[in-house]
Amino acid sequence: MDFYLSELLNNAVFNQSHEKIGVVADLAVTDLGQPHPKIRGMVVKRESRKEAVFIPEHDVAAISPKLIRLSTDIVDLHPFVQRNDEVLLAQDVYDKQIVDIDDRRLTRVNDLLLEEYQNFLRLQGVDVSSLGLLKRLNLPNIGNLLKRNIVDWENVQFLGGNSPMKFKVQYKNLEALHPVDIARIIFEGPGYKQGSRVLSSLKDPIAADIIEELSPKLQKNLIESMKLEDVADVIEHMPEYKAADLLVTLGADYAQKILPLIGKEHTAKIQTLLKYPEFSTGAYMRTEYVVIPSGITLDEVFKRVSDLEKLPDFILYFYVLASEQSNHLVGVLSMYELFAADRRTRVESVMIKKLITASPHDHIRESLKKMYRYSLSALPILSKTEEKLLGIVTFRDAISYYLPKRWKVRIRNIFSNGNGV
């Protein structure tokens, strides 16, 4: 049988000899991260001026909105004190914010659905409907206009309350969402204090993806409230050019603190990117792309690509170098030629040799114009003197120069709504 927590609260509790010992004040749970957490017991408020007591689940014979009876006459009268791992449903979960994972939205706990389970109860779901509110206020549902809307606890991410609570909240369920959605949902609502807690608890690659999606101001607030080591881990998982942008946002003082904690190789790459002035093509440069030496056949290219441990985000073009060791760019092989041409042909015969390239000091507008004019998805960036391949700039990254900053996720924007996500 199912019923709501609100139907249980303030109901009388009787002992085995049918004497009333008090009323239900709250229910306790230990692990909210479970798909359907089991209720561990209830907090019973005795007559006024007496301390509340805790009744463990095994002392309860029957529990329903109609009757709550214990299987014993002996009650531990020690005053109830909330333990660190205990979550009280009415006190800590009611009215707090949750993420509805299926609907990808932020909402609030209006009531909680309980289900009979192994002689006691477990938490089944959350009522997010306005009817839940009415019921808790003992107001009638006029004309039965409103319906309950239950979200299964399995598909709920509880976000916790104001201050770091006594118990630890797991944010595992969030990982089912796309980082863009997490960024949008979390930072539209719960405030940055909670936001930083959510970020620290997520896996580093996901946290890195989320941070990339945020507006600079929000990035700054969040990161400053996170631990240095956590931030370093997150930055390690970012592409260098995004990490560089982030460091610019955070400022020189913070960069000095954080760079020593990041891997040497990563730091060196970030520092190179940072040498380029703002809005230069170099500042938008990516350093993750696929290179192949000239002289091999297309078949071998296929093999090399499938052997790659991790494919970079951008794989429309393969960059052909003079030899395995050199950094001298001789041509570009596009996905189209790779698939269209005979597999036995050599790379040099199908690759594009007349290259459109950019220099790291070109203004990003110029590079974007080139890509648009020649219908290219990316440009290789060559050093001016030695014609060495430094990196690439993609159309997507370059166009972000023109995008309003507010395309990034900001805290819900009351005054310039519509454009903000």
List interacting residues with other proteins (CB under 8 A). Answer: 94-97, 105-110, 128, 130, 133, 136-137, 161-163, 188-195, 215, 217-218, 220-221, 224-225, 244, 247-248, 251-252, 255-256, 259-260, 271, 274-278, 283, 410-421
Q: What are the C-alpha distances in Å from 319 to residues 17, 42, 239, 369, 377?
A: 84, 66, 19, 21, 13
Instruction: Please give the single-letter amino acid code of residue 313.
Output: D
Nearer to other proteins, 1 or 137 (CB): 137
Q: How far is the CB of 411 from other proteins (least distance, A)?
A: 6
Question: What is the residue type of 15?
Answer: N
**Smallest distance from the beta carbon of 162 to other proteins, in angstroms?**
5
> Which amino acid is present at 238?
M
Q: How far is the CB of 17 from other proteins (least distance, A)?
A: 34
Shortest Cβ 255–other proteins spacing (Å): 6
Give the integer Cα–Cα distance in Å for 151 and 98: 10
Supply the minimum distance, in Å, between the C-beta of residue 275 and other proteins: 5
Contacts with 268 (C-beta within 8 Å, 6 or more apart), sequence order: none
Q: Which is nearer to other proteins, 40 or 410 (CB)?
A: 410
CA distance 237 to 233: 7
Tell me whether residue 60 or residue 411 sits nearer to other proteins (CB atom).
Answer: 411
**41 or 189: whose CB is closer to other proteins?**
189
Closest CA to 193 of 149, 224, 154: 224
Taking the complex as a whole, the smallest distance from the CB of residue 251 to other proteins amounts, in Å, to 7
- Cβ atoms of 32 and 158 within 8 Å: the answer is yes
* Six token digits for residue 383: 């050093």
* Nearer residue to other proteins within complex by CB, 325 or 419: 419
- Shortest distance (Å) from residue 405 CB to other proteins: 12
Please, which residue, 303 or 412, has the CB nearer to other proteins? 412
The least distance separating other proteins from the CB of residue 391, rounded to whole angstroms, comes to 16
Distance, CA of 206 to CA of 367 (rounded, Å)? 30
Whether residue 66 contacts residue 1, with contact meaning beta carbons closer than 8 Å, is answered with no
At 114 the three-state DSSP class reads: strand
Q: In what order do the strands lie in the sheet with 329-334?
A: 290-293, 317-321, 329-334
Tokens 């931030």 belong to 231
Calculate the alpha carbon distances from 347 to 86, 114, 300, 334 in Å: 64, 65, 9, 11
Closest CA to 26 of 81, 76, 69: 81
Shortest spacing between CB 130 and other proteins, in angstroms:
7
* Closest CB to other proteins among residues 163, 325: 163
Q: Which residues contact 293 (CB under 8 A, 6 or more apart)?
A: 320, 321, 322, 323, 324
Closer of 40 and 197 to other proteins (Cβ): 197
* Cβ neighbours around 185 below 10 Å, total: 23
Task: Decide whether 279 or 372 has the Cβ nearer to other proteins.
Answer: 279
Q: What token pair was written down for 331?
A: 């041509």
Tokens of 196: 């930083």
Residue 231 CB, shortest distance to other proteins, in Å, is 16
Total residues found in the chain within this entry: 421
Residue among 181 and 337 whose Cβ is closer to other proteins: 181
Q: How far is CA 364 from CA 89, 262, 380, 407, in A?
A: 54, 28, 13, 19
